[in-house]
């Protein structure tokens, strides 16, 4: 919105510092806007949640006796704090992002759809006695259906004409006589969406339409659910989200800079800086939320936040063609999701034998006697380590 204002003032002959239109400046301002919004409005928001009696439910003693004992004190702690995070993201989006960009529209739509799904899940758990929220199959159906719409748009040229699709360029140095020259090859949105980039390798893999479609479904749906599973201890998901969103935001900024993309031998994606602005806003919002979500938590993000934020990470990685970077930087999310999958499969096919004491993975370490704060801090350290590895892949390829 402010970009429109700057353009209008510029048309009137008024001088506006160009820094405010730069992606790097807007990324920083978006992060600060979201951070301050959450921190300033946090106390009033938490107070309102208490008044509405929107308290967290705890798994029963019959299901997990030790866990119920460890987390019993968290009962009735306000949840649905994700509403505050998403409100901060929406404010930063409308203030600092280009509302004409297809990336802005896709991210906004993702936030609304998955945020509403998570909100309905939280609402049903709170208002209906003994309810487990939206049924797993229905939840999965909505996630897969929305992911399919994103995939269909990205892979189908006829549909892309509805919005102005970005272009991508792959640049390389070629020897021409005694001098080296830059050779650039342009790709349409559907063409570069079918290219699969693996960190530490220069040459991408070319996927068929159906494989690309299935990959997009897997990444967006998987990321949304993985963050949801990670959100089980005070500050755990929020802290990891800060690191992962900063990593992907850095990739988005570099991919939007023609010279830097050529120097780092990565794909140049026109307008991808808008994704960087959004991801930095996410980092700021999650950091502000961590102020109140750190141990002992005053508020939980609930499915409203975790499903939406995980889905946004998945969509961002798909738009940037950095799905594997998300898997590396979000190693904690991957490990949490895998622990649940392996636990279920082992219980079902190995005569009710369990691999972990309790899943997701963070509860396994609680069962081993680790204090909650130790589990969270060590998971943060591992998350930071993998975030560094993901960034290092820019040079080691």
Q: Give per-residue pLDDT as tens, 90-99.
A: 999 999 999 9
Helix/strand/coil for 141:
helix
- Mean pLDDT confidence for 40-58: 85
Peptide bond into 360 cis (omega under 30): yes
Contact 168, 192 (CB under 8 A): yes
Per-residue pLDDT at 129: 66
Look at 7 and 217; give whichever has higher pLDDT.
217
Average pLDDT of 350-363?
91
What distance in Å separates the CA atoms of residue 373 and residue 358, rounded to the nearest whole number?
A: 18
Residue 115: per-residue pLDDT: 96
pLDDT value of residue 75: 76
**Phi, psi for residue 173 in degrees, rounded to 5:** -95, 135
Question: What per-residue confidence (pLDDT) applies to 341?
Answer: 96
Q: Does residue 57 have a pLDDT over 70? A: no
Top pLDDT among 77 and 6 is at: 77
**For residue range 300-313, what is the model confidence (pLDDT) as tens digits?**
999 999 999 999 99
The pLDDT of 274-299, averaged and rounded, is 96
More confident of the two residues 388 and 188 = 388
**Residue pair 275/252 in contact by the 8 Å Cβ criterion:** yes
Per-residue burial over 184-197, b if 16 or more Cβ lie within 10 Å, else e, is eeebebbebbbbeb
Instruction: For residues 365-373, give the mean pLDDT.
Output: 92
Least confident of 162-166, 303-307, 352-356, 378-382: 162-166
**153: pLDDT strictly greater than 70:** yes
d(CA 2, CA 7): 9
Check residue 56 and give its pLDDT.
Answer: 64
Dihedral sign for Cα 58, 64, 65, 66, please.
negative
pLDDT value for 68? 62
Higher-pLDDT residue of 296 and 69 is: 296
Binning pLDDT at 50, 70 and 90, where does residue 110 land? Answer: very high
Higher-scoring residue by pLDDT: 22, 383: 383
Tell me the two tokens of residue 59: 């798994």
The 10s digit of each residue's pLDDT in 205-221 is 999 999 999 999 999 99
CB 299 within 8 A of CB 49: yes
How much is the mean pLDDT over the chain?
89
pLDDT the model gives residue 65: 61
Query: Are residues 117 and 86 in contact, defined by beta-carbon separation less than 8 angstroms?
Result: no
Predicted confidence band of residue 67 (pLDDT cuts 50, 70, 90): low
Residue 15: is its pLDDT beyond 80? Answer: no
Distances (CA, A) of 394 to 199, 250, 256, 294, 389: 8, 10, 14, 32, 9
Summarised one tens digit per residue, pLDDT across range 177-191 is 556 566 678 888 889
Is residue 48 classed as helix, strand or coil in its secondary structure?
Answer: helix
Say how far apart CA 311 and CA 105 lie, in whole Å: 15
According to the per-residue pLDDT averaged within each range, which of 76-85, 202-211, 281-290 is highest? Answer: 281-290
- pLDDT of 176 over the 60 cut: no
Please tell me the predicted confidence (pLDDT) of residue 198.
93
Whether the predicted pLDDT of 201 surpasses 90: no
pLDDT for position 168? 85
Phi, psi of 180 (to 5 degrees): -90, 135
Task: Identify the weakest region by mean pLDDT among 186-190, 214-218, 332-336, 342-346.
Answer: 186-190
Q: Across residues 126-130, what is the average pLDDT?
A: 74
Check: CB of residue 37 under 8 Å from CB of residue 285.
Answer: yes
Check pLDDT > 70 for residue 58.
no
Q: Do the Cβ atoms of 335 and 240 come closer than 8 Å?
A: no
Calculate what percentage of the chain has a pLDDT beyond 70: 90
Q: What is the pLDDT at residue 381? A: 98
Please name every residue paired with 175 in a beta bridge, in sequence order, or none if there are none. 180
Please answer whether residues 136 and 89 qualify as being in contact, where contact means their C-beta atoms are separated by less than 8 angstroms: no
Residue with structure tokens 């019959």? 62
What is the DSSP annotation of 164-190?
Answer: ----EEEEEEEEETTEEEEEEEEE-HH
Nearest to 140 by CA among 218, 80, 216, 227: 218
At residue 51, the pLDDT reads 87
Q: Which helix (H) or strand (E) holds 292?
A: helix 273-293
- Asked if residue 183 has a cis previous peptide bond (ω within 30° of 0), the answer is no
More confident residue, 159 or 226: 226
- So where are the chain's domains? 23-167+193-392
Closest of 257, 275, 280, 258 to residue 101, by C-alpha:
275
Rounded to 10 degrees, the C-alpha dihedral 89/92/94/99 comes to: -90
Give the mean pLDDT of 335-342: 96
Query: What is the average pLDDT across 17-43?
Result: 91
């Amino acid at each position: 919105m402010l970009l429109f204002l700057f353009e209008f003032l510029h048309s009137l002959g008024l001088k506006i510092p160009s820094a405010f239109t730069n992606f790097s400046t807007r990324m920083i301002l978006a992060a600060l806007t979201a951070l301050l919004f959450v921190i300033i409005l946090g106390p009033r928001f938490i107070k309102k949640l208490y008044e509405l009696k929107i308290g967290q439910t705890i798994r029963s003693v019959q299901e997990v006796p030790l866990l119920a004992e460890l987390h019993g004190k968290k009962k009735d702690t306000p949840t649905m704090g994700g509403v505050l995070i998403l409100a901060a993201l929406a404010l930063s989006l409308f203030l600092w992002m280009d509302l004409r960009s297809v990336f802005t529209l896709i991210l906004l739509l993702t936030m609304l759809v998955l945020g509403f799904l998570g909100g309905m899940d939280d609402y049903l758990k709170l208002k209906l006695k003994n309810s487990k929220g939206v049924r797993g199959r229905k939840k999965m159906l909505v996630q897969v259906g929305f992911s399919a719409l994103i995939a269909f748009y990205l892979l189908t040229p006829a549909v892309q004409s509805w919005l102005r699709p970005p272009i991508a360029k792959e640049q390389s140095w070629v020897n021409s006589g005694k001098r080296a020259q830059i050779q650039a090859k342009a790709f349409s949105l559907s063409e570069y969406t079918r290219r699969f980039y693996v960190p530490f390798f220069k040459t991408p893999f070319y996927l068929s339409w159906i494989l690309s479609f299935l990959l997009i479904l897997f990444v967006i749906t998987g990321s949304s659910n993985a963050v949801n599973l990670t959100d089980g201890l005070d500050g755990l998901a929020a802290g990891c989200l800060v690191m992962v969103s900063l990593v992907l935001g850095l990739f988005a900024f570099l991919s939007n800079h023609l010279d830097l993309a050529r120097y780092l031998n990565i794909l140049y994606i026109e307008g991808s800086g808008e994704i960087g602005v959004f991801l930095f806003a996410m980092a700021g919002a999650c950091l502000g939320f961590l102020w109140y979500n750190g141990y002992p938590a005053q508020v939980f993000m609930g499915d409203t936040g975790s499903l939406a934020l995980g889905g946004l990470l998945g969509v961002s990685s798909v738009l940037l063609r950095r799905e594997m970077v998300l898997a590396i930087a979000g190693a904690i999310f991957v490990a949490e999701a895998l622990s649940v999958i392996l636990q279920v499969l082992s219980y079902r096919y190995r005569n009710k034998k369990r691999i972990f004491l309790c899943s997701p993975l963070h509860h396994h370490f609680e069962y081993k006697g680790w204090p909650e704060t130790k589990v969270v801090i060590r998971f943060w350290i591992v998350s930071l380590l993998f975030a560094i590895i993901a960034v290092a892949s820019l040079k080691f390829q």
